[in-house]
Structures are given as structure tokens and as C-alpha cells.
Chain A
């Protein structure tokens, strides 16, 4: 039994938990962080892209010693059908800058490093410890936690729930609902190892330059989903994810999708000759703004994936996690510095601060996109990619057909597939949800 009382307990050592623990410890708070993995990072799965701006706000000189893989100089978006891809690529020498904006990382290694910073800042980090239940007083206020490591309760003024998308504590305590199958995606990923120079040749890179491929289309077989390929230094992260409800409805298997994605003629050459060293899976919050639960209460706040803070449209999650963890911690520090109790009323400042940040503003902007993507998945992920592929092939193939006739044929294929009303309706719906 741990007798001493802490200012704050942080449950989880992912992006949001580490950001919260670090921020509070730096401000002199007595912080206990609990992590069920062997070390911070051993249970954490992400693509993964790191966004420098959000980490700089925590550790300005992180580039000195953080385990970074490649800085991104190129972004490729692919619209795929079974034999082709139509790509929009953006590459710029501007991204070869002194302080690059985005990096690929390997989460288990990165999180271990970030956790070392949390310890250096003075927090107590206890790994291999699963928090089993929240401790509450007679009025329902959260006053600490129970773990599987020591008997009895560990007490704190406030508990930061950074327990991830599949967090059990908050839902068991009825602080928020369990994620619904249509509001989370299941992604599977493999780590493919290749010599550094081979990766650089496959992706047209030099030095520590990196590239991201994000792909949608028939690879998800009509489900709402995306594939991704990230170049690390000596390995390639490759994966695919779809909404869980779609998997449930179709009976498709995640590993079956990944296998097809890997064997696609546009993808196979990129990973050719590689050795697989890990297979992982993770849920991704996809519900957006409308799925955000109550973010604070008496003695608790929730941050990161546990709070569904993920921007599915821009494929951003770790930065929202890091930022929400930091902001929650700043709110807690503010309440404490005024010697106020950690009541819901006082902790509501966290939500106010988060509302003013890019986190909520971005999610609000795209609040209708998740539903649109899900209800129109057949059109967006199957019909259109096939139409676009045929249109492009028609455009580039030189076969003596007059151009006017070719263009007429392409237009006709779109109208036949979706009708004029359907085409305008789709364009209108996407524009409205995007603005």
C-alpha cells in the first residue's frame, strides 16, 4: 500500500499521459504516473507521425536526443483501384529545414524517451502496474485509484485519465460511454525491415528524408478506411484500417485487407525483400467532434484518445493527444496554484482552454465528415476510385480515339454510375462538411 498522497495521478504513459505528467512535474507538482506495460511505450501503437510544433511546446530542444526516424519531405495521397493508383504527391525542398515540421517515429522507442523526460522532471513513473478501478468518495468524487500491484487505494487530488481509446476505467466508472463500433476504426500494421539505402532507393529519398503514403479506394472493399505506408530509417510501417462496424457488417478480415494492400502492384515493389519484425493492431477514434465525451468532473479529467480527440480527416491524433494532455495539466496547475479544490466547476477551465485551441476548433470544423464518410462509403471508397482510375487510363492511353470522344466516354461513365443528381449531391455534401 502506498501511503503518501499525490497532487495528481496520471493513468497511462502514451502521448497524452506523458505530456500531462511532464507538464505537471515541471511545475513542481507531486505526480504519480501508472503504466501497465513493461515500459512506457510497450503497449502503444501508432503509424507513426510526430508533429514537431506540439512537442516543442513541451520540450523545445527535443531534436537533440529524441529517437526520430525521418523528417517528411513528401506526402503522397493515392486513390486506388485493384490494379492502379491515381496519386497526388507534394514534395518540397522547403521541408529540408533546420527544424522540420513532421517526423516518422517508432512509438515504443519514442515513448520510452519521452518517459525518461517525465522522470527527469521529477514524476514517479510506475510501470507494469494496471489500474483496475477509480477510487471515489461517498459523493462520487474521484479521490485516487486501485491497482493490481498494491492493496488499497492510492490517493491524489486529481486523476488524469490518459488510458487510450480502449480505456476501461472511465467507462467502468460511467464517466463516459464505451466507444461504439461505428465510431472507431481497427487498424493493423506490420513493420518491414530493409537496409537503409534500399528504403531510400524505393522511396526516392536521401539522408534522413522521409515520405508518407496515404491510400484510399478499393483496398478497403467499400468500407470506410485507409491504408498507409511510412518510411522510417531502416523499416517501413505499413498498415490499413477500417471502421469496426464495417468489418462487422462485411465479414472482411483485417489481415486479409493488409495482405491485399501489400500485394497491390503499386505497393509490393516498395516493400520487396523486406523482413517483417512485428504485427500490431490498434483502435482509432473516428467519431470526431460529436463523439467527444464529458472531459472533466469532480477529481478527474480525460485526455487524448480516451477522450476521442482524433482528427480522422487529417490523420492527426498524437498531436491532439499531446496538446490535450498539456492543456489539462496547465488547467490543473492553475487550479492548484489558487489553492482551489479539484471540483468539476474548477476543472472546467480545462475544457475552456481546449475549446480555444486547435484541438476542438479542428474537430468542430469537420464535425459532419465522419458520418458522411461512413454513410457514403460505397461511393467514396469503391465507385469513385474505380471511375477515376478508368478516367485516367482513358486520358493517358493513346489509341487513335478522338479526344472529344474519350472525354464524352469518361463523363458518361460518371453519370451512369452516380447520375447527375448523385454527382452534384456528393460534391455538395463533401463541400458542406469540409468548409
Chain B
């Protein structure tokens, strides 16, 4: 039973308001050939599914839909796998309800 595949996270993110800081992603993944277990965990745990595998089997991040929870920072920053900053003031997700 794999119900997760039926949940379309992109549809959920569509409800939200964002001001994307084009060309200045606030999260960066360290260049790698083979992803660490921490990076692989992010594919599943990120609530906005910002992390995906590319066709070379490397983990990539697209921050446009990020809801800035910090989960990937807690998992991936200690190992140096990712760099996490806040978006510039005013940018990123803009919650209407929160």
C-alpha cells in the first residue's frame, strides 16, 4: 500500500503565496556524486518536496515552494550536505493564516 504517491504536494503548494527571489536560492546542496543518507532522507521528509533526484542520481533542491520549516537544515546542515539561510527580507513564503 503506497498512498503517498496519490498526494500531490504541488497542488498543496498552489494554495500558498510566495515571493520568489529569482536567482538567489536560500538553500544550496553541496556538490556530490553519490548522495549521503541525510540527503536521501530529504527526498521524503521535506514537506514541500523541494528535493528531488536528477537523472545522475544526485539530490537537487528547488526552493520556490519551500515553506521554510527548517527540517532539512536540522538533518542536512550538520553533515555539510546543505547550506541553509533565510530568504532575503520580504521574500519566500507569505502565510495568510499561518
Q: Do A and B bind each other?
A: yes
Residues of chain A whose beta carbon lies under 8 Å from any beta carbon of chain B? 36-38, 41-46, 48, 106-109, 111, 127-130, 132, 147-149, 165-166, 168, 178-181, 184, 186, 188, 190-191, 235, 244, 247-248, 251-256, 259-260, 276-283
Would B93 and A251 count as touching, CB distance under 8 A? no
Distance in angstroms between the alpha carbons of A310 and B96 in the assembled complex:
24
Number of contacting residues on B, CB 8 A? 41
A44 to B93: give the CA distance in the assembly, Å.
10
- Distance A397 CA – B12 CA, assembled complex (angstroms): 40
Enumerate B57-80 residues with CB–CB distance to A below 8 Å.
67-71, 73-75, 77-78
Q: With the chains together, A170 CA to B33 CA distance in Å? A: 32
Q: Are B9 and A255 in contact, with the CB atoms below 8 A?
A: yes
Whether A260 contacts B96 by the Cβ 8 Å rule is no
Given contact pairs A36-B86, A130-B89, A178-B78, A280 touches B95 in the complex (Cβ within 8 A): yes
Q: Output the nearest chain A residue to B90 by Cβ-Cβ distance.
A: A128
Instruction: Establish whether residues B70 and A127, one from each chain, have CB atoms under 8 Å apart when the complex forms.
Output: no
Contact B45 A128 (CB under 8 A): no
* Contact present for A178 and B71 (CB under 8 Å): no
CA distance A169 to B85 in the complex (A): 10
Instruction: With a 10 A CB-CB cut-off, give which of B70, B77, B86, B97 has the most chain A CB atoms.
Output: B97
Q: Tell me if B98 and A283 are in contact (CB < 8 A).
A: no
Beta-carbon contact of A108 and B68 below 8 Å: no
Nearest CB in chain A to that of B92: its residue = A43
Looking at chain B's contact residues, the main secondary structure is: loop
| B residues near A251, Cβ cutoff 8 Å | 41, 44
Identify which of B4, B67, B94 contacts A38 (C-beta below 8 A). Answer: B94
> Nearest chain-B residue to A108 (Cβ)?
B98
A-B contact pairs, 27 of them (CB 8 A): A36-B87, A37-B90, A43-B92, A43-B95, A45-B95, A45-B98, A48-B98, A106-B97, A109-B97, A127-B90, A130-B87, A180-B74, A247-B45, A248-B75, A252-B44, A253-B44, A253-B47, A254-B45, A255-B9, A255-B47, A259-B3, A259-B7, A260-B3, A277-B15, A278-B96, A279-B12, A280-B93
Contacts of A244 in B (CB 8 A): 45, 71, 74-75
Partner of A179 from the list B15, B44, B68, B74 (CB cut-off 8 Å) is: B74
* CB within 8 Å for A43 and B93 given contacts A190-B12, A259-B6: yes
Residue in A closest to B4 when the chains form the complex, CB atoms: A256
Contact of B45 among A108, A129, A179, A253 (CB under 8 A): A253
Q: Closest 5 CB pairs between A and B?
A: A166-B70, A128-B90, A256-B4, A108-B98, A107-B98
CA distance A130 to B86 in the complex (A): 7
Which residue from B15, B45, B86, B96 sits with its C-beta under 8 Å from A276?
B15
Write out the residue numbers on chain B whose beta carbons fall within 8 Å of the beta carbon of A283: 69-71, 74
